[in-house]
Structure 1
Amino acid sequence: MKNYKPNTSGDVRAKKHLGQHFLKDENIASKIADTLSYSGYYKVLEIGPGMGVLTKYLLEKDAEIHVIEIDRESVEFLESNYLHLRDRIHEKDFLKVDLQSLFGAEEFAIIGNFPYNISTQIVFKVLQHRDQIPEFSGMFQKEVAKRICEKEGSKAYGILSVLTQAFYTAEYLFTVPPSVFSPPPKVDSGVLRLQRKENFHLACDEKLFYRVVKTSFNQRRKTLRNSLKSLNLPGNLREDIIFDKRPEQLGFQQFIDLTKMIEPYAVSSK
């Protein structure tokens, strides 16, 4: 592998409080590296590289690879073993970092074997910065990956499904068993890919859209007529047939349409 120096400094200890499960299967690492298109952008950010099993396959791609890692021991390992990467190793917390401080206004893709305990927060941050992130792929707990990609009508379908699919095309790619990690997690993992919908404009107030989706699913067993009571909508509006449905019955476009209906009567939290 180019830009890779064999490990001479010992393994990094997986830390439970960071949710670390280090990928050890080279074939899976190679498959994950291949999930991005590397097209339309030049820079790629890997979140949580650990000991760089995925990193070395990313470094073979025609892209400028950056990694962001909060664990000092992992950073030291990467600095010792990936010498040509040293200037692009960012010892920071992805959830707290200002992405423009890393890339300015440039577009970049994100990839990684994401810690389960912050994976949904990572997706929400990607949605906030979608103007800069055309593509995103990586490994999640299988249940979470399936939920992100799930379509309406399923019990797994929820807030994360709707909000992600409004802006990205979501695709579940393959399942990964616990045995390919050290230490092995107690559940299967799943790899997904998100590709941004180009020239897409959310035809409603975005903050109100988020509010409607989250409020609807907070009482997902109830009809929208009941779950959206807190919005204090007029009775004649709430007689519309869409309010007879439960939230999991609506696709993201129907939630956009619902938000447009509500917009003249609800105050968005701008």
Structure 2
Amino acid sequence: MAKKTFKKNFTSAKKSKEQSPVKAKKHLGQHFLKDEDIAHQIATTLTFKGYKNVIEIGPGTGVLTKYLLKEPIDLVAMDLDSESIVYLNHSFLLEHPEFIGRKNKFQVLEADFLKYDVSTLFGDQQFAITGNFPYNISTQIVFKLIELKALVPEFTGMFQKEVAARICETEGSKTYGILSVLVQASYDAEYLFTVPPTVFDPPPKVESGVLRLTRKENQNIGCDEKLLFKVVKTAFNQRRKTIRNSLKTFNLSDSLKEDAIFDKRPEQLSVSDFITLTNTIAHDAV
């Protein structure tokens, strides 16, 4: 796992408000951050290098939003919760008049990021994604990020700690898996810091983790991406088996399966190993 460059834990909480103006909804997986210091730290995880557009997913009560708005960026705050949208469009701006009439655009959208056509927001311009992501869709958000990688040079935010750690993990670990490989094929992953349950309303039953993904300079991962996804997912779906046994459905030639890589289990293969394996399988099929 990458070296942690931020504070790991927080012992004091500077709360934004004791009573949230928007009620967290269980079916949306909402846990509103109420610690100002942590919100500020998450906002500073973005470098704003090479882009001026940012999408914040799940802004809730705007505790992170207001720190993002201090930057010279165009910000779209996107949430499925209509109560949150009403609050951000009205009371939030009244409480923060310094953001009314700002030079850079601030837009609040009631929308599902997983289904939204982001090309309608910034066209072909680059943009970053950040947020305190709802746990119940956080993995799906990452998979959509991979689809959008040509437009997203940077991605930061808060996940359930297990998920954040898994995304950033390297080979040789039991938590290294599908997300680790598919994300790291295109992004450099850093686990930044851990956040305790006590700074949320309501508090989740688990710790949270904040990460940063920085797109690699060479966007060509060096193999057929669709085939890579298929190889990685098939291998890890039977992670206790060797690659030779887990990839039986590929009907590979016997001579190919003599390669030493097929004696290994998926968690023993690095990202570059999976790319090499994918190319080998592609050539075998020709």
TM range (shorter): over 0.9
Residue 248 in 1 paired to residue 267 in 2? yes
Partner of 1:27: 37
- Equivalent residue for 2:70, pick from 49, 60, 64: 60
Residue by residue over 1:193-220, the C-alpha shift from the partner in whole angstroms, topping out at 9 and shown as x without a partner, is 0000012312111100110000000100
What code does the residue aligned with 1:43 have? N
Q: Distance between the aligned counterparts of 2:270 and 2:175, measured in 1?
A: 13
Q: Distance between the aligned counterparts of 1:205 and 1:51, measured in 2?
A: 42
Partner of 1:3: none
- Equivalent residue for 1:107, pick from 119, 126, 136: 126
- List alignment gaps of at least 5 residues for structure 1: 1-5
Distance 1:10 1:149, change over 3 A: closer
Residue by residue over 1:68-91, the C-alpha shift from the partner in whole angstroms, topping out at 9 and shown as x without a partner, is 111000000001134438961111
TM normalised by structure 1 equals 0.93
- SS of residue paired to 1:45: strand
Residue by residue over 1:127-152, the C-alpha shift from the partner in whole angstroms, topping out at 9 and shown as x without a partner, is 00000000000000000000000000
What code does the residue aligned with 1:99 have? V
Q: Distance between the aligned counterparts of 2:164 and 2:242, measured in 1?
A: 26
Aligned length: 261
Residue 41 in 1 paired to residue 51 in 2? yes
Does the CA-based 8 Å contact 1:142-1:187 persist in structure 2?
Answer: yes
- Equivalent residue for 1:232, pick from 221, 245, 251: 251
Query: Per-residue deviation at 1:39?
Result: 1.1
Distance 1:26 1:59, change over 3 A: same
Residue 169 in 1 paired to residue 188 in 2? yes
Distance 1:10 1:155, change over 3 A: closer
Aligned residues with identical type, % of pairs: 63
Does the CA-based 8 Å contact 1:95-1:125 persist in structure 2?
Answer: yes
Q: Which 4+ residue blocks in structure 1 deviate beyond 2 angstroms?
A: 81-87, 264-267
What code does the residue aligned with 1:80 have? H
- Equivalent residue for 2:283, pick from 251, 254, 264: 264
- List alignment gaps of at least 5 residues for structure 2: 1-15, 94-99
What code does the residue aligned with 2:90 have? S
What code does the residue aligned with 2:109 have? H
Q: Distance between the aligned counterparts of 1:39 and 1:98, measured in 2?
A: 24
Q: Distance between the aligned counterparts of 2:172 and 2:161, measured in 1?
A: 19
- SS of residue paired to 1:225: helix
The answer to which structure, 1 or 2, has the higher relative contact order (CA under 8 A, 6+ apart) is 2
- Equivalent residue for 2:242, pick from 214, 220, 223: 223
What code does the residue aligned with 1:92 have? A
- SS of residue paired to 1:184: coil
RMSD: 1.7
Alignment of 1:158-237 (within 5 A): 158-237=177-256
Does the CA-based 8 Å contact 2:61-2:88 persist in structure 1?
Answer: yes
Residue 80 in 1 paired to residue 90 in 2? yes
